[in-house]
Structure 1
Amino acid sequence: MDRKNLAFDRMNFILLAVGMVVVIIGFILMSGGGTDDNTFNPEIFSAMRIKVAPVICFIGFVSMVYAIMRKPKDNESEERSDRNELV
């Protein structure tokens, strides 16, 4: 398969995977025990759940958007060899 026709290169996939891992970590930090009908758990209002975890998820989503929008760099050596063949 010709790699020049692919929209993503290896770095795009790596950045996308890292962004997904960061989002998953953010959701894990948001999870935890909730309240029941009989008891109230004040941990649902901890700073980790309502401030830190959403920021981590947002950073993960932004990095995923960057990974999708990033344009793969062309190999200059391939371009030079193509130019030399034409001359």
Structure 2
Amino acid sequence: MAGPVHPSAQIDIDAPLAVVWDVMLDTERYAEWNPFVERAETAQPPAVGNPIVLHVVWASGGRTRSPSASPRWRAPSPTPPPVRRPR
């Protein structure tokens, strides 16, 4: 039997860290910018360490939700990662 799946993704966002962090903490508006998320649940106000549950609707119409223990908020790093530039 296969082990658990741990999906991940990374993207560079051309915006100040404070702006991105504010958008990520505004869970009541997730559906405005993420077409797959119907709603997001977390303790209010959102805080580092709180679990978040994403209620997802796939393009096929199927629905699912993330486990209540994962993912968790992580505070932004005080030192930004190095910028990756295309070769």
User: Same fold judged by TM-score > 0.5?
Assistant: no
Instruction: Compare CA radii of gyration and give the structure with the larger one.
Output: 1
Structure with more helix by fraction: 1
TM-score of the pair, normalised by structure 1: 0.24
With a CA cutoff of 8 Å and minimum separation of 6, indicate the structure with the bigger relative contact order.
Answer: 1
Structure with more strand by fraction: 2
